[in-house]
A = this chain, B = another copy of it.
Amino acid sequence: MTARKAQRTARLIDLLSQRRVIHLSEAAALLGVSEMTVRRDIATNQGQIAYLGGHILAAAEIDTDTPYELATAADSHAAAKREACAHAVRKIRPDETIFVDCGTTLIHLIDLIPDNYQITAICYAMNVAERLSRKPNVTIIMLGGVYHPASASFSGTHDFDILKSVGINAAFLSAAGVDAKRGATCEHFHEAVVKQKVMSVARENYLVIDSSKIGKLKRAFFSGMDGFDAVITEHGEAGPGSF
């Protein structure tokens, strides 16, 4: 094995750590060699590189034991979040327009909406939009803007133009911290701006959190507790006065 070949293989593995799946022809272009050469590289490195029908992926992906748990474990308090969302989903009627905040909590809400509901969902985070797009009968409206990687969300002044032209029946908000005195807070200021603007136009505002958030205070304030029609946790629904 020449130095050139070894280096090329290392580069391919490096690419896989970022991309998970790379098509053969794409890898060939990226590495500046022919497809045949990439094939041969893979054949001599079956331990690290896996190959399936034209697609290259890290061998670890299909070797190591169940990454399922890992994926769900990355989302802490997933069970509590899902339960809170199970309570929250009852607020949605079959033909309403809702707002879905960013974060991991409300992803569960989306999954729990019955497939036959014809809802319109407004969002501003990419992971939320992506999950919504998998559901049937959902009209998705994305508030655009500048991308913020930390929360996979978009923000900007223009958001507000869209909000003027839609009627939101219920807004489902998430928070990173809920404090009795200071109210609901999140990690990023740009998120807080969007949340506030949405809350000002939505008919009903629900804060959906798992109870681990209670007592915490984060840097970006977006609403006092009296701004919510209800606070929904895994234990059920509580009036805003209980905090």
Query: Is A18 in the interface zone, CB < 8 Å from B?
Result: yes
In whole Å, how far is A210's beta carbon from the nearest beta carbon of chain B?
13
A78-110: CB near B (< 8 Å → 1, else 0) gives 110011001000000000000000000000100
Q: Which of B60, B66, B78, B154 contacts A67 (CB 8 A)?
A: B60
Inside 8 A of A25's CB, which chain B residues have their CB? 78-79, 82
Binds B, one of A134-142, A182-190, A222-230: A134-142
Chain copies in the assembled complex: 2
Determine the distance from Cα of A159 to Cα of B69 in the docked complex, in whole angstroms. Answer: 28
Query: Is A126 in the interface zone, CB < 8 Å from B?
Result: yes
Residue of B nearest to A75 (CB): B23
Inside 8 A of A26's CB, which chain B residues have their CB? 78, 82, 108, 111
Q: Which of B17, B66, B145 contacts A141 (CB 8 A)?
A: B145
Determine if B156 and A147 form an interchain contact, defined as CB atoms under 8 angstroms apart.
no
Inside 8 A of A165's CB, which chain B residues have their CB? 158
In whole Å, how far is A161's beta carbon from the nearest beta carbon of chain B?
5
**Residues of chain A whose beta carbon lies under 8 Å from any beta carbon of chain B:** 17-21, 23, 25-26, 29-30, 46-47, 52-55, 57-58, 60-69, 71-73, 78-79, 82-83, 86, 108, 111, 124, 126, 129-130, 132-134, 139-147, 149, 152, 154, 156, 158-159, 161-162, 165
Known: A141-B145, A144-B158. 4 other contacts (CB 8 A): A17-B66, A21-B69, A144-B144, A144-B159
